[in-house]
Chains A and B, each alone.
Chain A
Amino acid sequence: MRNSEPLLKVENLRVEVPTKRGTLVAVDDVSFSIAPGEVLGVVGESGAGKSLTGAAIIGLLEPPLRIAGGRIALAGRRIDTLPYEAMRRIRGKEIGAIFQDPLTSLNPLFTIGHQLVETVRTHLDLGPSEARARALSLLKEVGIAGADDRIAHYPHQFSGGMRQRVIIALALAANPRLIIADEPTTAPDVSIQAQIIALLKRLGRDHGTAIMLVTHDMRVIAETAHRVAVMYAGRIVEIGPVRTIVEQPSHPYTIGLMASIPRTAGRRDRLQQIDGTMPRLNAIPQGCPFNPRCIEAFDRCRRERPDLMAAKATEAACWLYADAKQPAHA
């Protein structure tokens, strides 16, 4: 199932922000694809461009941010050049979105039943009672107990974790083929976080939904995703199967990132750290953007920007692996 045609294909995506002092590149030459039923984790520090990549796909970049290059195709159909109205129909119907903040994604003035039915009827050709039945089954699907009563409740009557489930139910309303989930587990409680992870995994498995899971939490990705893209300074620096990225990362940034995650077995006197900070958009160094912080950096890294290339069992944008000489996107 997972090796079929990619559902989402992003090629050489570039997102820019024009400013008074010139144009900044927030997402730079990003390419990846997601197959039906696959969960792709996108991990990176804040400002690495992971949320912007998600927003670009769903057509919700806030001006002055703009797509300045590349193409985005959903099931073979190009969507980045669609006019606003056509994109609006795709959003919700074919691509569902789950955002970080469950309070701002729900309208406080309407019951969640009202919001679900409205969303269902916007995208599907259903009568009022059928739409209500679908809303009920969505609430049950995301694990809301007593859905028959809860459907008449307002958002403020739900706890944080339950609200996050309602958001997921809304994203599922029209049975989208792709879900973009941006930090969906930044929920208040660890037990709720675990429940949301289980829910997302079930979606991919039972419905063949493709999921792009954007988060800074590598643990959530390790439990949920099949593949991982690691972003740094607007670029994908490494992409590969989740286990390989966790256990044998290739890019020095990924290696440092994995080592700096605090473990729960074996207390250390010091945690591994990567010195320095990610460059700001207006000060991205020449060559590899990671070179000033990289302990392996050599001359070429400071001059020339590396593309993704085969490295051990993943693809990494790092000159250390240049000997393999295999082009990444064949």
Chain B
Amino acid sequence: MPERDVLLEVNDLERHFDVSPPALERLLRGKPRLALKALDGVTFSIKRGETFSLVGESGCGKTTVARCVVGLYRPTSGHIVFDGIDLGRLTRRKAMAPIRRRMQMIFQDPYASLNPRWRVRKIVAEPLVTHGLMADKAELRARVAELLEQVRLAPADGDKFPHEFSGGQRQRISIARALAADPEFLVCDEPTSALDVSVQAQILNLMKDLQRRLRLTYLFISHNLSVIYQISDRIGVMYLGRLVEVATADRLFAAPRHPYTRLLLETIPRLDPPDGALGEREPVAGEVPNPIAPPSGCAFHPRCPSANERCRQERPSLLAVGGTFVACHAVQEGRLPPA
């Protein structure tokens, strides 16, 4: 069977959370049910061997996408297609298991994601045991040793407990565990956000090396734009449950189109602030609105300097403009030229 070029397709994904008041309050005070649309029609695809990243501020839905993709959340609607297989159709655990083995997740907090009572050996071997991939004890031991070496830990570290390791080393253990069952696809949710910057560089370099060596495909989630820039091939910018811009890393940083992307890029603190900038560069005001009652039309319009009547009423779709996909009336109408 020929390999598909596209490994993951996400189509019009929606995920709502019920945030209604308690039943009694609804009954007595006539309060309505409330749904928080964490994802409101998200569409993207990831090519084999590619690193696709989602970036956005807290609450924009990027982690919800990750959790839907690996099956930790069930989508409210929409499709997730992995290597040609629509995951929504696999309702039985048994049918899902072979897919599960092929995609793994790395979590943000290396302190919370490793069982403190298990030795590292057992943690790393868990996917192999769960998927019944290795019965022979000696074989399992050898595989764990190999995995630990792959993430630049010593095979002897397998005898230790997680608390004996630093944050960066723990994240290496998480990566070794994720790689145990030989997956093709890794979902990495803020894998370096809890780490110090010098350790962050070690982990990002390790992830790049492993990607090359093992032909991995990454869905990478982060709020840190400079990390995203360095690790990604393509980037999707999210705002209030929607993708507002998708472009290659180089294009997104060189020529951001959506006003929100521009705002994000402008607000990264700079290592080389221009002379006399100390105290002068006043940032754009405003905050992400309440996701339970998102603004009408384009969700960004209350903060957008280019918003007009159409933006307040009609929701823009993600359309190709130049080499970028952007959901913005102003850009699509040509009202907002490239920066």
Contacts of A202 in B (CB 8 A): 279
The answer, yes or no, to whether A109 is at the interface (CB within 8 Å) is no
Q: Among residues 16 to 48 in chain B, which have CB atoms less than 8 Å away from a CB atom of chain A?
A: none
Contacts of B169 in A (CB 8 A): 277
The answer, yes or no, to whether A260 is at the interface (CB within 8 Å) is yes
Q: Which of B57, B253, B265, B278 has the most CB of A within 10 A?
A: B278
- CB-based contact A192/B287 at 8 Å: yes
The answer, yes or no, to whether B5 is at the interface (CB within 8 Å) is no
A302 nearest CB across to chain B (Å): 21
Q: Which of B167, B168, B196, B265 has the most CB of A within 10 A?
A: B196
Q: Among residues 203 to 244 in chain A, which have CB atoms less than 8 Å away from a CB atom of chain B?
A: 204-205, 216-220, 222-224, 226
The answer, yes or no, to whether A261 is at the interface (CB within 8 Å) is yes
- CB-based contact B283/A195 at 8 Å: yes
The answer, yes or no, to whether A263 is at the interface (CB within 8 Å) is yes
Q: Which of A219, A222, A262 has the most CB of B within 10 A?
A: A262
Q: Among residues 162 to 207 in chain A, which have CB atoms less than 8 Å away from a CB atom of chain B?
A: 162, 188-195, 197-198, 201-202, 204-205
Mark the stretch among B61-69, B199-207, B312-320 that contacts chain A.
B199-207
| Complex Cα gap A216–B199 (Å) | 12
| Complex Cα gap A277–B170 (Å) | 12
| Complex Cα gap A274–B195 (Å) | 13
The answer, yes or no, to whether B99 is at the interface (CB within 8 Å) is no
- CB-based contact B279/A198 at 8 Å: yes
The answer, yes or no, to whether B322 is at the interface (CB within 8 Å) is no
- CB-based contact A194/B267 at 8 Å: yes
A31 nearest CB across to chain B (Å): 24
Q: Which of B168, B272, B277, B279 has the most CB of A within 10 A?
A: B279
Q: Which of B223, B271, B282 has the most CB of A within 10 A?
A: B271
A48 nearest CB across to chain B (Å): 9
- CB-based contact A194/B229 at 8 Å: no
- CB-based contact B200/A260 at 8 Å: yes
The answer, yes or no, to whether A159 is at the interface (CB within 8 Å) is yes
Contacts of A326 in B (CB 8 A): none
- CB-based contact B197/A257 at 8 Å: yes
Beyond A219-B271, A223-B270, A277-B166, whether A271 also contacts B57 by CB under 8 A is no
- CB-based contact B249/A267 at 8 Å: yes
Q: Among residues 209 to 230 in chain B, which have CB atoms less than 8 Å away from a CB atom of chain A?
A: 223-227, 229-230
- CB-based contact B271/A273 at 8 Å: no
Please give me the residue from chain B that is nearest to A225 by CB atom. B278
The answer, yes or no, to whether B4 is at the interface (CB within 8 Å) is no
Contacts of A220 in B (CB 8 A): 269
- CB-based contact B271/A262 at 8 Å: no
Binary contact readout B158-171 vs A (1 if CB under 8 angstroms, 0 otherwise): 00000000111100
Q: Which of B57, B168, B198, B200 has the most CB of A within 10 A?
A: B198
8 Å CB contact of B58 from A188, A275, A277: A188
Binary contact readout B179-201 vs A (1 if CB under 8 angstroms, 0 otherwise): 00000000000000000111111
The answer, yes or no, to whether B264 is at the interface (CB within 8 Å) is yes
- CB-based contact B57/A263 at 8 Å: no
Please give me the residue from chain B that is nearest to A143 by CB atom. B285
- CB-based contact A205/B196 at 8 Å: no
Contacts of A264 in B (CB 8 A): 225-226, 229, 253, 265, 268
Please give me the residue from chain B that is nearest to A188 by CB atom. B58
Please give me the residue from chain A that is nearest to B196 by CB atom. A45
The answer, yes or no, to whether A292 is at the interface (CB within 8 Å) is no
| Complex Cα gap A258–B225 (Å) | 17
| Complex Cα gap A130–B253 (Å) | 50
The answer, yes or no, to whether A318 is at the interface (CB within 8 Å) is no
Q: Which of A162, A261, A271 has the most CB of B within 10 A?
A: A271
- CB-based contact B269/A277 at 8 Å: no
Beyond A267-B230, A269-B208, whether A261 also contacts B267 by CB under 8 A is no
Contacts of A223 in B (CB 8 A): 269-270, 273, 277-278, 281
Contacts of B255 in A (CB 8 A): none
Beyond A219-B268, A269-B208, whether A191 also contacts B198 by CB under 8 A is no
| Complex Cα gap A277–B203 (Å) | 12
8 Å CB contact of A191 from B208, B272, B273, B286: B286
Beyond A46-B196, A190-B223, whether A261 also contacts B284 by CB under 8 A is no
The answer, yes or no, to whether B288 is at the interface (CB within 8 Å) is yes
Beyond A195-B285, A202-B279, A219-B270, whether A190 also contacts B198 by CB under 8 A is no
- CB-based contact A45/B199 at 8 Å: yes
A277 nearest CB across to chain B (Å): 5
Q: Which of A159, A192, A216, A224 has the most CB of B within 10 A?
A: A192
Contacts of B229 in A (CB 8 A): 262-264, 267
| Complex Cα gap A159–B200 (Å) | 29
Binary contact readout A118-148 vs B (1 if CB under 8 angstroms, 0 otherwise): 0000000000000000000000000100000
- CB-based contact A198/B226 at 8 Å: no
Please give me the residue from chain A that is nearest to B231 by CB atom. A262
- CB-based contact B57/A272 at 8 Å: no
A291 nearest CB across to chain B (Å): 16
B173 nearest CB across to chain A (Å): 14
8 Å CB contact of A194 from B200, B224, B283: B283
- CB-based contact A270/B57 at 8 Å: no
Contacts of B200 in A (CB 8 A): 260, 262
Known: A193-B267, A262-B227. 13 other contacts (CB 8 A): A45-B196, A143-B285, A160-B58, A162-B287, A201-B278, A201-B279, A257-B197, A261-B226, A264-B265, A267-B249, A273-B201, A277-B166, A278-B166
9 CB-based A-B contacts, threshold 8 Å: A45-B197, A193-B269, A194-B284, A198-B282, A226-B278, A257-B198, A263-B271, A277-B199, A278-B196
State the A residues within 8 Å of B (CB): 45-46, 143, 159-162, 188-195, 197-198, 201-202, 204-205, 216-220, 222-224, 226, 246-247, 256-258, 260-265, 267-275, 277-278
State the B residues within 8 Å of A (CB): 57-59, 166-169, 196-202, 204-205, 208, 223-227, 229-230, 249-250, 253, 263-265, 267-273, 277-279, 281-288
Enumerate the 7 nearest inter-chain pairs by beta-carbon distance, A residue then B residue, closest first.
A194-B283, A45-B196, A219-B269, A201-B279, A188-B58, A260-B201, A273-B201
